[in-house]
Amino acid sequence: MNHILLTPPVAFMIVLAAMLGFSRLLSMLSARPKTREAGTEKSYACGEDVPTNMMQPDYSQFFPFAFFFTLLHVFTLTIATVPSLSGGSFVIAAIYILAAITGLVILFRR
């Protein structure tokens, strides 16, 4: 017996509406200051002024490392879960190994 309220989209909307209502109810009960203090929306930097023109991190070394990490971990996960009895999956795994090697060659070609 399929009930319309138990389908995932309808159940999601019911739970979402209930949580939004619960959030509104709790926000009315929360303690709020009467007036806003000066500086409450500024970021805290241990009592120092934060120079905005100097905050520009360099990600030039991060992205190759992140690509290497992602490539090897997804490669390992994919190869480790290939069924050994299927011939078609072996071909797909071999193609994936070649693609991973190509990606590593491109990454380390400098």
Q: Tell me: the pLDDT tens digits for 42-61?
A: 777 676 666 666 666 677 77
Q: Domain ranges in the chain?
A: 1-29, 59-110
pTM of the model: 0.41
d(Cα 50, Cα 45) in Å, to the nearest integer?
6
If one counts every other C-beta atom within 10 angstroms of the C-beta of residue 64, the result is: 13
Position 1 scores a pLDDT of 53
Q: How far apart are CA 46 and CA 109, in angstroms?
A: 43
Q: What is the pLDDT of residue 50?
A: 64
> For residue 104, how many other CB atoms are within 10 A of its CB?
15
Cα 6 from chain centroid?
A: 29
